[in-house]
Structure 1
């Protein structure tokens, strides 16, 4: 279990890769996962040695919370979708 504490760099590398993917693919698709991976990396840097299943659980919960927060901050806003009332070919 103490060997898992040395995997902080792998979680931070995964966060960096996910951030690069976020720049390539628009729409805040990978940003929540990047935040979750960075949180687990920082958790391990702080010295908390837990089992891998707890690390995956923390990753999942932080990623979900980050995704929900991102949707609230930059999600679809009211009135953003355009509804067409008439067809341009009807003139």
Structure 2
């Protein structure tokens, strides 16, 4: 069942839709990873022959997608106020 490209494509699309409702780049990397596995399965059917290989490629593609998004979007600095002094320090 997990060797079908359309299952990975459907899972990727579901994760991309979930990202719309739960923003924060949590599901976006996983969605791109699943779509990458679907693309590889569709273009080279003999490349991914088992579930462990598919999961490994999914994990690597998701990690790369997350790192690229982190580099493009960057960290959001200044969200939390950090106090270096106390009001009682005189």
Alignment TM-score, normalising by the size of structure 1: 0.77
Match of 2:29 among 21, 29, 32: 32
Q: Write out aligned runs for 1:64-75 (5 A).
A: 64-75=63-74
Q: Write out aligned runs for 1:41-56 (5 A).
A: 41-49=38-46, 50-56=49-55
In structure 1, stretches of 5+ residues that fail to align are 87-91
Tell me the equivalent position of 2:17: 20
In structure 2, stretches of 5+ residues that fail to align are 86-90
RMSD: 2.2
Deviation at 1:62, TM superposition (A): 0.4
Greater per-residue helix proportion: 1
State the aligned residue count: 81
**Deviations 1:32-84, CA, capped at 9 Å, x for gaps:** 0000000000011113322221111000000011111111111314xx31546
Tell me how far apart the structure 1 counterparts of residues 15 and 74 of structure 2 sit (CA, whole Å).
Answer: 20
